[in-house]
Amino acid sequence: MITAKQAPGSPPFIDPAPIFKIATGFMAAKHLFAANELGLFEALADSPATLEALAARCGLTRRVTRISADAMVALGLLERDGSSYRNSSVAATFLSGQTPADLRPLLRFWDKVSYPTWGNLASLLSKGPSQNLSTVSGEIQELAQAGIAAATAGPLRALIATLDLSDRRRLLDVGGGNGSWSIALADANLHLFATVLDLPAVTPIATQRIAKAGLSDRITAQPGNALRDPLPNGHDVCLVANLIHYFGPEENRMLLGNVRAAVEPGSRLLIADFWTDRSHTEPLMAALMAGEFAAHEANGDVYSVEEGRAWMLETGWRFTNHRPLAGPFSLVVGEAV
């Protein structure tokens, strides 16, 4: 930004503020992660509190509570009226633990798994990741699945609100993770049966969630590799959600070709992901998330709608539609020819 007033003949003053804003973004992120872990938002879920009361609720000292709470005020997630703190409407909705729209698991995933990885982003981009997120198990995989489910809850709700599956009977959820998409779609479409296909490290998590939802009679979790293994047949709608960005272009052609081989003509294909414009720079969140995918997967990236359309054409699908879901997520729709 060039200032309006400067001495005649002097070089223009260019404000470095944009660089400082970007470069200190890690401070805002870590403050948010810490407030989430310390329980500030949950402590204010039922009522506002003075600094002393908030410190007591969180089991923290007054100084530490003030540092964290005031940072959240500065970032717009807490509000302060005199000596009293309260959640903002955004924090009350997404971080207090009082609504279904709970983003706390996503913050824990970004803090515990993604953030340490991003600390070596330059090395990871030049040399590739040392370990793929899709193959890990145990606590890290559980954190990842919970975080991904929280991140995609909004797009999933948007999909349910706009998707008509009345003429479909069997859903194949390719790379379905913990089963959250199939669970929600089966819950909204009582006639629908589903198969959740994912790697063996993830399948037990999906099986538990399906049982907890009381849908074991209509949803089955099946281990398998969607790139290499023959896929189960008998399905008339295929969902590929939050998966395309794990792979490179050739792998995505293989994936869509493998899905096509498992279904009959007229079957529907739904691909929900961080689809971009031709330049790969919009939406902004999608452009940034390309770094996340590249850091965790050997060929991770984001792709344009035009690239997705070309893969479909090459693998036996007809592109029929592209529409937004929520945030940077959008849906590409196709039909088997």
pLDDT(237) > 60: yes
| In a domain? residue 85 | yes
Same domain for 139 and 279, yes or no, is yes
Instruction: Tell me the angle at which helices 305-314 and 249-261 cross, rounded to the nearest 10 degrees.
Output: 50
| In a domain? residue 70 | yes
pLDDT(1) > 50: no
* First vs last C-alpha separation in the chain: 53
From 39, 67, 99, the end of a domain falls on: 99
| In a domain? residue 235 | yes
Question: In the chain, what percentage of residues exceed pLDDT 90?
Answer: 82
From 99, 126, 143, the end of a domain falls on: 99
Same domain for 62 and 184, yes or no, is no
Domain that residue 27 falls in:
17-99
Q: How far apart are CA 311 and CA 316, in angstroms?
A: 9
Whole-structure pTM value: 0.85
Sign of torsion over alpha carbons 16, 22, 26, 28: positive
> In this predicted model, what pLDDT tens digit does every residue of 58-107 receive, in sequence order?
999 999 999 999 999 999 999 999 999 999 999 999 999 999 889 999 99
> In this predicted model, what pLDDT tens digit does every residue of 95-143 receive, in sequence order?
999 998 899 999 999 999 899 989 989 998 898 887 666 666 678 878 8
In the numeric block, the tokens 């698991």 are attached to 105
> In this predicted model, what pLDDT tens digit does every residue of 11-28 receive, in sequence order?
888 999 999 999 999 999
